[in-house]
Structure formats: structure tokens, C-alpha cells
């Protein structure tokens, strides 16, 4: 019988089977990790030799090649319906609602805030419906900037694409600094640089997980924001019923109602105050259009997008209108705290936080500040997504440097994400003594961007419908049709033009201009209207260089990238499916 020998490290001639398997797994994982960053083999959207040979001087824009490139983009379709719904219902709920509404309340009064947000909500509803119709039929990379190129003018598409990309590139450092300032609510010390680093790394990591990472993060962020707004509405009703004060400002449990609408009043600063609140309302709705941008990376845009777009109505009605109606009954427009915020995310200037503080509740203001911080991080997360996808689409249309079109095997526009992330380092200006000047001018770059984007969506939809009918199609062929139709798009377009006029007036002659010096008035105007001349310069420069023309109705490309639907079969299948729905689901689908 053989002697039994004890095992020693030296007695083993090589790795065990288990160790060998683990080494193989590690090598396999590292190889997969490395390979994921390589270019997608299906990506063919770099300036090819054929394109250069066909256009040696590059003074001609190939619209057909551009449309083909956005339609064949190798972005992966990994967003599910639930992701798209939460992006739609909670994506744009952020500092514009939670904090920016305080400045609007101070300038215009509660009635102006309610009126401005309601009318802007109607405009946004019309705009998103138009975008939904286009995005279901053409779920292409770049979405609305690509639609401007196809249905309006390649030069305008170039201007709108860069306008939108710059908006989000600038918003990223702004939101990271804003998130770091929210921490001051508890800490009370200037640790901005440390928090900037933490938040920047977090946002960049989320986006390096690809579109699935962005979708899951937004799903969680949106649930938190939606829950917070619903909770505030319930709390606001209770405070209104029993949160009144006596003549000395002490809580006495009396009914408030619309007491503050009578004193100090419903309106402030007259018509100019109302115009000022329109600008704030437009800022608060920025990001709503991301639903259309995400359509190119959604598993089933035909099914998910119409459902998500329906959510916009409820978000506008419930989250904006109802919550701001309650805020206007709980916080007076002359409360000095509304204008004391040192940033767009300072919870101390939030009317939501102020109303809770006025009720004498101790813990809930901190909870609201957490929600504000999450909202800011959500916007920062969306900024990398929005800018990287827009830059990639611009490169695919040969309207941006070609390296932006590099899309790896996991569907990430890698170089675009890296550039957007690097620009996030501008957030470290928070530690500079000139931080206020730097950020005011960055805000100016993005100030009117959304207005131009929404206007272009409405105009592209109007011209698409015209071409669709002129080229022999019928509306019955559309898989999703905007319920407000072309009339809704005209309403959205005209309203956006009116907001541009209002912004021009309030920029040239702001509230309280009498106490401002000439230099301050000039700086205020350019900070309010800087985006407009930049868009005009980009449009005219590109148009003169490539000699582009407005796309004629008869020449409009309505086929490239179009999803083919047998609408009659789809409708029949949906009706058959509905018959088996329980009653609760029928009610839910009717409203949502």
C-alpha cells in the first residue's frame, strides 16, 4: 500500500483544475472587457474613401448618405418600455421645478407661475406628440437634429445638433457643482472640490455601463422624484388645511386656502413678471425631448414610445401644475429666502423646502434636499447621454469630427462619452474665485437651446406631414399619429416664438432694470440671449460653406430609416389583445 503524502505548495506541479478554470474565466472576462471597447464591426460611418472621391472638395452635402448613416447606426436597442416611461414621466423633473420655481414666484407671483407653467405645459404636450409621431416612424440616431437635416435644411440641422450638444456639454459641469452645493445644506463647509470629484466619477461610471446603465439609473432617479412630488402634494394639502399662522407669524393650525393670493397678491411686476416666469418654465421643462433621442436605443419604439408620451400629460398636470398651485398658496412671493440661493440647486431657496419650514416640520426639509440632489445628478446623467448621442449622430451625418462616430461593441459612442466626461472637469471651477462669472456665461450658452430645439421639432413635423400627403401617403399609414396633429405643432411653434420674444424683452429690460448700471444691463442681455447669435452664426456659416438649400417637399426622403408597419394588422392584433385585458388594465391604458 502506498504511503499517503501531505500536500505542500512545492509538491504541486501546476495549477489545479479549479485554478485553471478560474484563470480561464479571468482571462475570458478581461478579454470580453477589452473587446467591448473595440469598434463595432457594423459601424461603417467614418469618412470613407468613396465619399472623399465623390466629393473631393467637400463643398456639397450628401443628404442621402447622411440619412442612411443615422438609420444604420450601430447603437444597441436595450432600453425597455419601463425605462422610456420613467424617462418621460420624471426625466425633466429637476431643479427647474424644485428651485427655479422660487425665483419665478418672486418675480411674477403665484398666479403668473401657474399660468406660465400651464401654457408651457400645453406647448410641451404638442411638441412631444409631434416628436413621438416622427420617432415611431423614424427611430434614427440623433432624432430631432437628424429630422431638421432631413425635413428642413442641412445647415439648420447642423446648427440644431451642435446647439443641443453644447447645451448638454455645458450643463454637465453646472449640475455637478450644483450637486456639490446641495451637500452644504448639511455640512456647511466649503468642500466643493471633493464632492465634485465624487459626483463626476459616479455620473461617468453610469454612462460607461452603456444605454442600459443610463436607463436603469434614470428609472431609479425618476421613481425617487415622482414619489417625492406625490408625497409633497399630499403634504401640501395637509399644510394648507391646517398650516396657517397668527398675526405674529406663529403656526395656529388655521385654514390657509388662497390667503396669500390676496396678500401680498397673485401677480407681481405686472406683465414683465409674467414674461420672466415663462422663461423659467421653459427651463424647467428642458429634457422632455430626451424621450425622442432614446427611441433609437429602445427595443420596441412602436409599442413603448406612444405609451411613454402619454405620460407627459400626467407629469405636466400632476407634478407641475398641482404642486406649483400648492406652493403658491404656502409661500408668499415677497419671502426674501426665494432670492437668497447662491446656485440653481440651493435648497435654501426652494419654495418646496421653504413651505415645509414654514409649517414647522424639522426633518422633511432635509429629505427634500436629498431629492434635489438626486434630481441634479439625474440631469447630469442625462447630459452625458444627450450630448454623446447627439455628437455621434452629427459625426455620422458628417457634421462633426469623424472620431465622434466611433461606437464600440456594446453600443457606446465611446469618444463622445469621453469628451463629454472630460468637459465635466470644468466643474472644478467651483473652487475658483471667478466661479460665478464662469458659470453665468456657461448658463448663457444653454439658456435658449431648448426653445430652438422644440421649435425645430414642431416645424419638422409640419413639413413632414405636408410631404407625407404630397407624396401620396395617407395618415392611416402612420403607426402612431399625433392626436393634436399639425395644429398642435403650429401651436407649439408659435408659442416657442413668443417665449423667444419674451426672453429678448426681459433680457433687454429685466425686472428692476432701473437700479442696474449700463454695464450690468449689457451683461444681463448677453447672458439671457447668447445662444441666439451662436445658432445664427452656425447656421449661416455652414449654409454659406456647403451652399445647402431648404429641402423641397417633393425631394424629402420619407423612406430611409423608416420602420415598415402593416398598420391594419397591428391594430387588429392590439384590439384582440385588449379583449383579454382585465378591467383595471383597460382603465390604466385609457389614461396612460
What would the grid cell of residue 133 be?
A: 409621431
What are φ and ψ of residue 418, in 5° steps?
A: -65, -45
Tell me the mean pLDDT in the region 324-352: 82
Per DSSP, 94 falls in state: S
Report pLDDT for 242.
Answer: 82
pLDDT of the residue at 521? 83
Which is more confident, 267 or 187?
A: 267
Cell 456657461 found at: 442
Does the structure show a pLDDT above 60 at 52?
no
Angle (nearest 5°) at CA 113 between 280 and 448: 15
Per CATH, domain 75-548 is 1.20.1740.10: yes
Q: Report pTM.
A: 0.86
Provide the phi-psi class of 267: left if phi over 0, else alpha when psi is between -120 and 50, else beta. beta
More confident residue, 530 or 147: 147
Contacts of 566 (CB under 8 A, 6+ apart): none
d(CA 135, CA 294): 9
Whole-angstrom distance, CA of residue 87 vs CA of residue 294: 9
At 325 the pLDDT is: 94
- Give the model's pLDDT for residue 16: 44
Selection from 190, 221, 188 nearest residue 203 by Cα: 221
pLDDT reading at 550 higher than 50: yes
Rounded Cα–Cα distance for residues 572 and 276 (Å):
49
Is 70 exceeded by the pLDDT of residue 446?
Answer: yes
Rounded CA-CA distance 305/480 in Å is 9
Region of 8 on the Ramachandran plot (φ > 0 left; ψ -120 to 50 alpha; else beta)? beta
**Which pLDDT score is estimated for 37?**
63
* Residue 150 confidence class, pLDDT cut points 50, 70, 90: very high
Residue 430 clears pLDDT 70, i.e. is over it: no
More confident residue, 33 or 67: 67
pLDDT at 435: 61
pLDDT at position 592 = 58
Q: How many Cα neighbours within 13 Å face the side chain of 444?
A: 19
Spatial separation of the C-alpha atoms in residues 487 and 458, rounded to whole Å: 10
Q: What cell numbers appear for 193 in the block?
A: 472640490
Q: Which residue has the higher pLDDT, 551 or 572?
A: 551
Between 90 and 231, where is the model more confident? 231
User: With contact defined as beta carbons under 8 Å apart, do 333 and 105 qualify?
Assistant: yes
CA angle 311, 317, 320 (to 5 degrees): 105
Q: How many CB atoms lie within 10 A of CB 494?
A: 12
Cα–Cα distance for residue pair 180/192, rounded to 1 Å = 5
- Report the C-alpha gap between 49 and 40 in whole angstroms: 19
CB distance 102 to 354 below 8 Å? yes
Cα separation of 141 and 405, whole Å? 11
Confidence band of 330 (pLDDT split at 50, 70, 90): very high
Contact between 390 and 165 (Cβ < 8 Å): yes
Give the separation between CA 87 and CA 434, rounded to whole angstroms.
35
Selected residue with higher pLDDT from 55 and 508: 508
Residue from 127, 125, 152 nearest 458 by CA: 127
What is the average pLDDT score of the chain? Answer: 81
Please state, in angstroms and rounded to a whole number, the distance separating the CA atoms of residues 465 and 189. 56
Region for residue 269 given its phi and psi (left: phi exceeds 0; alpha: psi -120 to 50; beta: otherwise): left
Instruction: Please give the backbone phi and psi of residue 474, each rounded to the nearest 5 degrees, phi first.
Output: -120, 160
- Judged by average pLDDT, the poorest of 47-51, 225-229, 455-459, 562-566 is 47-51
From CA 470, how far away is CA 425, in angstroms rounded?
50
Residue 467 has pLDDT above 90, yes or no: yes
Distance CA 322, CA 124 (A): 17
Once rounded to an integer, what is the mean pLDDT over residues 454-464? 96
More confident call, 469 vs 6? 469
Burial grade of 160 (CB within 10 A; 0-12, 13-18, 19 or more): buried
Helices marked H in 425-484 = 435-446, 449-470
**Residue in the structure block whose three cell numbers are 425597455:** 80
List C-alpha distances in Å: 294 to 143, 289, 302, 570: 8, 9, 13, 23
CA 362 to chain centre: 33
- What secondary structure does DSSP assign to 189-236, as a single string? S--HHHHHHHHHHHHHHHHHTHHHHHHHHHHHHHHHHHHHHHHHHHHH
How many CA atoms does the CB half-sphere of 468 hold within 13 Å?
Answer: 17
> Among all chains, which residue has been given the C-alpha cell 396633429?
485
> pLDDT band at residue 254, thresholds of 50, 70 and 90?
confident
Evaluate whether 395 touches 405 at the Cβ level (below 8 Å): yes
Closest CA to 126 of 455, 564, 470: 455
pLDDT at site 278: 84
Residue 367: closest CA among 376, 378, 356: 356
In this predicted model, which residue has the larger pLDDT, 581 or 35? 581
State the average pLDDT over residues 17-31: 54
DSSP 85-153: HHHHHHTT-SHIIIIIHHHHHHHHHHHHHHHHHHHHHHHHHHHHHHHHHHHHH---TTHHHHHHHHHT-
- Among 378, 325, 312, CA closest to 115: 325
The sign of the dihedral angle between the CA atoms of 274, 378, 203, 79 is negative
Tally Cβ neighbours within 10 Å of residue 368.
25
pLDDT at 51 over 50: no
Q: Above 60 in pLDDT, residue 14?
A: no
Among 126-135, 312-321, 328-337, the range scoring the smallest mean pLDDT is: 312-321
pLDDT band for 7, please (50, 70, 90 cuts): very low
pLDDT tens digit string along 61-120?
777 787 787 877 777 777 887 888 788 777 778 778 888 888 889 989 999 999 999 999
3-class state of residue 39 by DSSP = strand
pLDDT more than 70, % of the chain:
80
Amino acid at each position: 500500500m502506498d504511503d499517503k503524502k501531505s500536500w505542500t505548495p512545492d509538491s504541486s506541479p501546476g495549477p489545479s483544475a479549479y485554478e485553471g478554470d478560474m484563470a480561464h474565466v479571468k482571462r475570458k472576462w478581461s478579454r470580453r472587457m477589452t473587446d467591448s471597447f473595440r469598434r463595432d464591426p457594423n459601424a461603417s460611418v467614418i469618412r470613407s474613401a468613396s465619399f472623399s472621391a465623390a466629393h473631393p472638395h467637400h463643398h456639397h452635402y450628401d443628404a442621402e448618405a447622411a440619412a442612411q448613416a443615422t438609420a444604420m447606426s450601430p447603437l444597441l436597442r436595450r432600453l425597455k418600455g419601463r425605462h422610456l416611461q420613467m424617462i418621460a414621466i420624471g426625466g425633466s423633473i429637476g431643479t427647474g421645478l424644485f428651485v427655479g420655481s422660487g425665483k419665478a414666484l418672486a418675480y411674477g407671483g403665484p398666479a403668473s407661475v401657474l399660468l406660465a407653467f400651464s401654457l408651457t405645459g400645453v406647448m410641451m404636450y404638442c411638441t412631444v406628440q409631434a416628436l413621438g409621431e416622427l420617432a415611431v416612424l423614424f427611430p434614427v440616431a440623433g432624432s430631432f437634429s437628424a429630422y431638421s437635416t432631413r425635413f428642413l435644411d442641412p445647415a439648420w440641422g447642423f446648427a440644431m445638433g451642435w446647439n443641443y450638444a453644447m447645451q448638454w456639454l455645458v450643463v454637465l459641469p453646472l449640475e455637478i457643482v450644483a450637486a456639490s452645493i446641495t451637500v452644504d445644506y448639511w455640512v456647511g463647509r466649503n468642500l466643493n472640490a471633493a464632492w465634485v470629484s465624487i459626483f463626476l466619477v459616479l455620473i461617468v461610471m453610469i454612462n460607461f455601463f452603456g444605454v442600459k446603465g443610463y436607463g436603469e439609473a434614470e428609472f431609479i432617479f425618476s421613481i425617487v422624484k415622482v414619489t417625492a412630488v406625490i408625497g409633497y402634494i399630499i403634504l401640501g394639502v395637509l399644510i394648507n388645511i391646517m398650516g396657517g399662522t397668527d398675526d405674529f407669524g406663529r403656526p395656529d393650525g388655521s385654514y390657509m386656502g388662497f390667503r396669500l393670493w390676496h396678500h401680498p397678491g397673485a401677480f407681481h411686476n405686472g406683465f414683465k413678471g409674467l414674461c420672466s416666469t415663462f422663461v423659467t418654465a421653459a427651463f424647467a421643462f428642458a429634457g422632455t425631448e430626451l424621450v425622442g433621442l432614446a427611441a433609437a436605443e429602445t427595443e420596441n419604439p412602436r409599442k413603448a414610445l406612444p405609451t411613454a408620451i402619454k405620460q407627459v400629460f400626467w407629469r405636466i398636470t400632476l407634478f407641475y401644475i398641482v404642486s406649483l398651485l400648492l406652493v403658491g398658496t404656502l409661500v408668499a412671493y415677497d419671502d426674501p429666502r426665494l432670492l437668497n440661493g447662491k446656485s440653481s440647486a440651493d435648497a435654501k431657496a426652494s419654495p418646496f423646502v421653504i413651505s415645509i419650514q414654514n409649517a414647522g416640520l424639522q426633518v422633511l426639509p432635509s429629505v427634500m434636499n436629498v431629492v434635489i440632489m438626486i434630481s441634479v445628478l439625474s440631469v447630469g446623467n442625462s447630459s452625458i447621454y444627450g450630448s454623446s448621442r447627439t455628437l455621434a449622430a452629427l459625426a455620422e451625418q458628417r457634421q462633426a469630427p469623424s472620431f465622434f462616430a466611433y461606437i464600440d461593441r456594446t453600443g457606446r459612442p465611446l469618444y463622445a462619452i469621453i469628451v463629454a466626461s472630460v468637459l465635466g472637469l470644468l466643474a472644478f471651477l467651483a473652487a475658483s474665485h471667478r466661479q460665478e462669472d464662469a458659470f453665468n456665461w456657461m448658463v448663457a450658452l444653454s439658456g435658449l437651446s431648448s426653445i430652438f430645439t422644440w421649435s425645430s421639432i414642431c416645424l419638422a413635423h409640419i413639413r413632414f406631414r405636408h410631404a407625407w400627403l404630397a407624396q401620396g401617403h395617407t395618415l392611416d399609414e402612420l403607426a402612431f399619429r399625433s392626436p393634436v396633429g399639425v395644429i398642435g405643432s403650429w401651436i407649439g411653434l408659435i408659442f416657442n416664438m413668443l417665449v423667444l420674444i419674451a426672453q429678448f424683452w426681459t433680457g433687454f429690460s429685466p425686472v428692476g432694470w432701473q437700479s442696474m448700471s449700463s454695464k450690468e444691463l449689457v451683461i444681463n442681455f448677453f447672458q439671457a440671449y447668447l445662444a441666439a447669435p451662436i445658432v445664427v452664426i452656425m447656421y449661416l456659416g455652414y449654409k454659406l460653406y456647403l451652399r445647402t438649400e431648404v429641402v423641397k417637399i417633393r425631394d424629402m426622403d420619407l423612406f430611409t430609416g423608416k420602420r415598415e408597419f402593416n398598420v391594419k394588422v397591428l391594430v387588429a392584433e392590439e384590439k384582440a389583445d385588449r379583449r383579454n385585458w382585465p378591467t383595471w388594465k383597460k382603465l390604466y391604458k385609457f389614461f396612460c
